[in-house]
Each structure stands twice: as C-alpha cells, then as structure tokens.
Amino acid sequence: MILLKEIQNNIEDLGYQCDFYDASDELPIPMLIIDISEDDYDIEEKDKQYLTVSIMPEGEDLDGSEFIQFYYTNPNLIDTNDLEGFKRSLFRKNRNLPLGHYNFNESESSIYFKYVLVVPKNKSLDIALLNDVLDMCVYAVKNL
C-alpha cells in the first residue's frame, strides 16, 4: 500500500487526476484509478477513460520485487459475430504496442489493455520512468 501511495503522489505530480481506493467488498485489492480522459470539460461520465494501477500479487509474497499492474477495460463491447477476424486484428495491434498487450474477455464481450512493470522492492520509484510508462499506457489505451 505504501508503494501505491507513492505512485499516486507521483502521478498527481505529473498532472493526472488519481484516486486511491482501499480494498472493499466490491474491490478485492487496493488500487489507484487514473482519469486519462481527453481534456474536455463537457465529456460525459460514460465517455471517461480510467486506467487502474494495482500491486500484484498482493502482500509480501515476493522478496526482491514489486509487480505494478496497469489495466484498462474498454467500455465499448466487441462484436462477437466475427470473433476470428477480431482476434486477427488484435494480434496485429499487439505487434505494434511499445509495451503491454491487448486481450479480450469473451464472456463479457470486452477488450482490455494490461501491462505489468517490475520494480525493485523497497526502492523509490523513479518519476521519469513512471512518466514514460504512463505515457505508453495512455498511448495504448487511446489506440485501442
């Protein structure tokens, strides 16, 4: 949780709106939710885009590293009528990503982006590195 708070402070320093959510009945693990919507004050809530950040696996399971997961679910449902064509399209898009990958959840007809950054445990996170990773995640989300 300490790392998530550090990440939140750094993300806010980079100019993003970022909220911390503790684990609850609806949310199984603590996470940050970052608003990466376009800078449009008239944007409706349903059109906003949110990138989540969490630490995986939760707890003190690893001795020397932390796994920071960046995750985005596209609110637009996929067309399951041409699933094979969609898979081919997704494969082509994945080849052009600088980091992370796109995938889909067939049962929910949703597509998502995921990237996991591995950092040394008990070390301060470099804000320039975080900025680069966040920029590339936002790039991937905007090109989904």
Q: Which two tokens stand for residue 93?
A: 């898009």
Mean pLDDT confidence for 133-144: 92
pTM over 0.85: yes
- Do 111 and 100 touch, CB atoms closer than 8 A? no
Domain at 17, CATH number: 3.30.1460.70
Q: Which two tokens stand for residue 74?
A: 């596209």
> For 37-80, how does the pLDDT look when each residue is reduced to its tens digit (9 = 90+)?
876 566 666 667 899 999 987 656 778 889 999 999 988 888 87
Domain residues for the domain of 50 are 1-143
C-alpha distances out from residue 45 to 4, 32, 75, 137, Å:
25, 18, 11, 21
Mean pLDDT confidence for 71-96: 89
Domain count, the chain: 1
DSSP characters over 59-91: SS--SSEEEEEEEEE-SSPP-GGGHHHHHHHHH
